Amino acid sequence: MVTPQWLATSYLVHMIATVVWIGGIVFMALVVTPALEREPGSSRALSAIQSRFRPIANLSLVVLIVTGMVQLTANSNYVGFLNFSNTWARVILLKHITVGGMIVTALYMNLVLQPDINRTAMRLASGKAKPEDTAALARRQSQLTQINMALSIFVLLFTAIARAQ
**Per-residue pLDDT tens for 38-51?**
776 676 787 788 88
Q: What is the DSSP letter of 75?
A: S
3-state secondary structure of 39: coil
pLDDT averaged over every residue in the chain: 89
The yes-or-no verdict on residue 148 having pLDDT over 90 is yes
In 3D space, the residue among 106, 110, 65 whose CA is nearest the CA of residue 73 turns out to be 65
pLDDT at 131 over 80: no
The pLDDT of residue 41 is 62
For the chain, give every domain's residue range.
Answer: 4-163
Per-residue pLDDT, 144 = 93
Q: Which long-range contacts (CB under 8 A, 24 or more apart) does 56-62 make?
A: 56/20, 56/24, 57/20, 57/21, 57/24, 57/25, 57/106, 59/17, 60/17, 60/18, 60/20, 60/21, 60/24, 61/17, 61/21, 61/103
Percent of the residues in the chain that have a pLDDT greater than 70, as a whole number:
98
**pLDDT given for residue 15 in this prediction:** 95
- Is residue 19's pLDDT more than 80? yes
DSSP states along 107-143: HHIIIIIHHHHHHHHHHHHTTSS-HHHHHHHHHHHHH
pLDDT over 90, % of the chain: 55
The model carries a pTM of 0.84
84 SS3 class: coil
Q: Amino acid letter at 143?
A: Q
Predicted pLDDT at 18: 95
